[in-house]
Structure 1
Amino acid sequence: MACKEFTLPPSSIKQTRQNLQSAVHQNDAASRAGFLERMFTFAFKGLVYPQIWEDPTVDLEALALTPDSRMLTIASGGCNVLSYLTANPREIIAVDLNRAHLALTRLKLAAAQGMPTYEAFYRFFGEADARANVNAYKRFVQERLDKESRKYWEGRDLMLQRRISLFSRDLYHHGLLGYFIGVAHWMARLHGTDPRQIVWARTIDEQRTFFDTALAPLFDRRLVRWVTSKKMSLYGLGIPPAQYEALAADGNGDMAAVLKARLEKLACGFEMKDNYFAWQAFGRGYASGPSGPLPPYLQADHYAEIRDRAHRVKVCHRSFTEQLTKEQDAALDAYVLLDAQDWMTDAQLNELWAEITRTALPGARVVFRTAGAPSILPGRVDDAILERWDYRAEESLDYSKRDRSAIYGGMHLYVFKG
């Protein structure tokens, strides 16, 4: 059973908060850990990711979707949901606990169907900084949206501006992630470095030189080391306290060292002309014009496919596990969990994987990411469940190396034996 097309169950800030509390809160509110969890919940209830930070190209390779595939994924900012449509799956069910992410995903789907040309669609989401976008919303998208999403985008933010105006004020400078990147740029400039300069590098060698001489030394600065040692400092990356610990473990507790290594891969692992994640981090937006590196859903060659297949996506305000309980046995071919498992207790992981196993068809594929390098499942999920799955270790390592977002320690692929 899937959600009805383009309809949401009644949702609100209160419902989003309650869902996030269930997912994130693992400690008593009176404890320090509990306080940090509740601060994260407060920060996460609004728009976090204007752009999702998992590489859809390696996802699509790992998922091996076919025209018969039914898949379940976390929606997040919606970029990957639309990008998966390029593989022509039969149905995509996208779930999320955050109403802002659901509204953004639905906006992208409605715009794909409603915009009159690729140029208009690209201007709206690729540039996201033109006053004409607000008029395009009213003319071509507004009537295609469900009531809840319209309420979100036509409502006002804390600055009393209508949220749809974000697309005339550079969407990618906003949201929790956009603000985090903005603060990071400010701190870099405070120490005499402008991260934007790397986007003009013509070769990886030039990128490496800029990283070594301008970016790497920042992580030895006292202010940077102090800030990154605080769990709240990474809320802008959507990293809750439990995930912070897993991430820090990769650097023996030295978060500055971990972030330096991840930034090094982002800056030097791929040429700028091929990596739109690097453009977002260092240039604070996509390269000028549609000829630059872009997510698949924004590429001109895929526009007609996205437009014609957008109706295949169902969007639900539910947790991943809750949606699985509504599916029949052996009903799904693919699952994308993003990094959600890093947030979970052992009990939640076992409940999730019991439902994944029940609903999986033979050969079904599960893709997820982790803050640290290893898979978090062994020793936490019941052996009787994991024995029914084949962990593709070598493939997972290869996908991790080729994930251009560079933010995660590992990308993992499990294939159902049946």
Structure 2
Amino acid sequence: MAEMASEARFRKNGKLKTALLQHKALSKNGVSERLFGLLFSGLVYPQIWEDPDVDMEGMQLAEGHSIVTIGSGGCNMLAYLSRAPRSIDVVDLNPHHIALNRLKLAAFEALPAHGDVVRLLSATGATSNSQAFDRFIAARLDTTTRAYWQGRTLSGRRRVGVLDRNIYRTGLLGRFIAAGHLLARLHGVDLTTMAQARSLREQRQFFDDQIAPLFDKPLIRWLTSAKSSLFGLGIPPRQYDELASLAADGSIAPVLRQRLEKLACHFPLRDNYFAWQAFVRRYPQPHEGTLPTYLRPEHYAAIRANAGRVKVHHATFTELLAAKQAGAVDRYVLLDAQDWMNDTQLNELWTEITRTAAPGARVIFRTAAERSVIAGRLSPALDAEWRYLEEPSLRLNRQDRSAIYGGFHIYERAQ
């Protein structure tokens, strides 16, 4: 599809380029960074892969809080609206994610009923979705976002037509998951049969008998030893190096096996929509399991009523904070963005976080490896302003159903 940007478009996106490029163009690391940047300049995450229920508990999110978060697929900020925050500022450097976040917000504001929102954002083969966009949503979008969704792909279809099929099979991550399914089938394993498991015991058996042996296959070990093979997961070169450092032979196959085991075996399938997307490539039907938090009926009224409290910005986290008043923000959600940053960028970010943090403010983020990425890297003055909440960080990391990260971390402003 046309959302896979050309290198020229990536280079024109100065903010994205600055965030990703740390090495000279012709160096080994520089080539990897530019390849990742080219791939990341298209749609990457139709669905966010951080568990928003863990986020909200880690933040102790409450009514009236001011939040700044990275957008990604937008599922997180919509879930946060169920807690009636005072405001949410969403930032992202990827224009495709910006358009998706604005579409999802407009869907809650414009569509007549909860069932219409669920059909638009979770159903497969609902050919009326593009018509619902034309009738209810398009007029509520800004000119740029409306033009994005009404634009044509290389195949001549309107981009919004993806909602008539299955948007979660698109984007960089959707294609990576498809490639994983194909690779498994080449080794005689149909991952979609995980949907037949009716208990944690059966999930464990399927993993042990069908999935785990795949990681010993020479082809899979060879593929996972190359940085570029995991760009489809949104893992940039710096994150790959962190994961590879955990393995003796340089292959991250053992790390991926461990993370996939958690996804497959640690949570009942009916309660883990992340596992449904990974193994079945869709959300569960009502008789099969639960939908993401933001699509559940009990949260619909609150999200619809509070959607106007969100502003979506094409900006870096640091840029947005620099424009805010001191003490104006209660909660910060950094996803895994710091794994991409050098020490200078980290200290610039935390300088603005510290300046804008209200009393008792909390920062949450995830890391590819288990250890907090900011430990020992902030200036002593900044470090003294924050305390690490180790016990809830470890506990909530175990509860994160997406299972793809090594660590979940919570920092609180020191009193």
TM-score, length of structure 1 as denominator length: 0.95
The equivalent position to 2:130 in structure 1, one of 131, 134, 137, is: 134
After superposition, the C-alpha distances for 1:164-183 in whole angstroms (9 at most, x for unaligned) are 01111211111100000000
After superposition, the C-alpha distances for 1:267-294 in whole angstroms (9 at most, x for unaligned) are 0010101100000100101002487222
Letter matched to residue 133 of structure 1: N
Number of matched pairs: 407
8 Å Cα contact 2:10/2:17 also seen in 1: no
- Quick check: 1:275 aligned with 2:272? yes
Once residues 222 and 181 of structure 2 are traced to their aligned partners in structure 1, the CA distance between those partners, rounded to angstroms, is 17
The equivalent position to 2:154 in structure 1, one of 158, 167, 176, is: 158
Partner of 2:331: 334
Structure 2 unaligned regions, length at least 5: 1-7
The equivalent position to 1:325 in structure 2, one of 322, 325, 329, is: 322
Q: Where does 1:176-325 land on structure 2 (aligned, <5 Å)?
A: 176-252=172-248, 253-289=250-286, 292-325=289-322
8 Å Cα contact 1:173/1:179 also seen in 2: yes
Question: Helix, strand or coil: the match of 2:319?
Answer: helix
Question: RMSD value over aligned CA atoms?
Answer: 1.4
Once residues 34 and 156 of structure 2 are traced to their aligned partners in structure 1, the CA distance between those partners, rounded to angstroms, is 25
Once residues 251 and 319 of structure 2 are traced to their aligned partners in structure 1, the CA distance between those partners, rounded to angstroms, is 36
Partner of 1:79: 75
8 Å Cα contact 1:55/1:405 also seen in 2: yes
Partner of 1:50: 46
Identical pairs, percent: 52
Q: Cα 1:97–1:15, aligned 2, differ >3 Å: closer, same or farther?
A: farther
Question: Helix, strand or coil: the match of 1:152?
Answer: helix
- Quick check: 1:410 aligned with 2:407? yes
Deviation at 1:298, TM superposition (A): 0.5
The equivalent position to 1:91 in structure 2, one of 79, 87, 94, is: 87
Once residues 356 and 124 of structure 2 are traced to their aligned partners in structure 1, the CA distance between those partners, rounded to angstroms, is 39
- Quick check: 1:100 aligned with 2:96? yes
Once residues 223 and 251 of structure 2 are traced to their aligned partners in structure 1, the CA distance between those partners, rounded to angstroms, is 12
Deviates most, 62-71 or 337-346? 62-71
The equivalent position to 1:394 in structure 2, one of 378, 391, 395, is: 391
Deviation at 1:148, TM superposition (A): 1.0
After superposition, the C-alpha distances for 1:45-73 in whole angstroms (9 at most, x for unaligned) are 11100100000001000111222210100
Task: Name segments (4+ residues, structure 1) moved above 6 Å.
Answer: none
8 Å Cα contact 2:270/2:288 also seen in 1: no
Once residues 14 and 378 of structure 1 are traced to their aligned partners in structure 2, the CA distance between those partners, rounded to angstroms, is 32
After superposition, the C-alpha distances for 1:376-411 in whole angstroms (9 at most, x for unaligned) are 112211121111111001110001100000000000
Deviates most, 63-72 or 288-297? 288-297
8 Å Cα contact 1:65/1:88 also seen in 2: no
Structure 1 unaligned regions, length at least 5: 1-11
Question: Helix, strand or coil: the match of 2:373?
Answer: coil
After superposition, the C-alpha distances for 1:12-48 in whole angstroms (9 at most, x for unaligned) are 9568732111101000001111011011111011110
TM-score, length of structure 2 as denominator length: 0.96
Once residues 247 and 88 of structure 1 are traced to their aligned partners in structure 2, the CA distance between those partners, rounded to angstroms, is 37
Deviation at 1:304, TM superposition (A): 1.0
After superposition, the C-alpha distances for 1:288-331 in whole angstroms (9 at most, x for unaligned) are 24872221111111111111110000000000011010011111
Q: Cα 1:394–1:203, aligned 2, differ >3 Å: closer, same or farther?
A: same
8 Å Cα contact 1:125/1:167 also seen in 2: yes
